Structures are given as structure tokens and as C-alpha cells.
Amino acid sequence: MAKKTWKKPDQIIELGLCRYCNKPVTNDMSFVSFADQDKTKAHHQCYKNDYYKQLINKKGKTDEFILQ
């Protein structure tokens, strides 16, 4: 098994607020960083939930268009 090349952080640092739920994001959580001007961050789970919500809405609109 390969040796780890990174060390788990000892200090827990708050990185900012989540883009979706406005709760603090820390460096010990799974998170996503966005390349926008403010360099916002979001919990990975919040990001996934929003992605699937958008996907369902987009699919519903496409289905309505096809049925007409």
C-alpha cells in the first residue's frame, strides 16, 4: 500500500459560510470551492442536493415541452 503524502490537519479552521445553507464550512468537512469572484464555498452534500434539484426541474420542463 502506498504511503500517504499528505498529513491530516491538526487545526480546524473556518473557511467561510456555505453558499446554500449559510452554515460555517471548516477544513475537516467535505466541501466544494467555486471559482467565482468571492471564492465562495459549499458543503459537498448541499452542492449535490442543489444539483439534483436543478436536474429534476430541467427534466420536468423538457418533458412538458415534448408532451405538447
Nearest to 40 by CA among 27, 31, 48: 31
Per domain, the residue ranges of the chain are 14-67
Cα–Cα distance measured from residue 6 to residue 63, given in angstroms and rounded to the nearest whole number: 47
pLDDT score, position 21 = 94
Per-residue pLDDT of 5-48, as tens digits, reads: 777 667 889 999 999 999 999 988 899 999 888 889 999 999 99
pTM of the model: 0.68
pLDDT of 64 higher than 70: no
DSSP string, 2-67: PPPSS---SS--EEEEBTTT--EEETTS-EEE--STT--EEEHHHHHHHHHHHHHHHHHHHHHHHH
Average pLDDT over residues 39-61: 87
- Structure-block grid coordinates of residue 42: 459549499
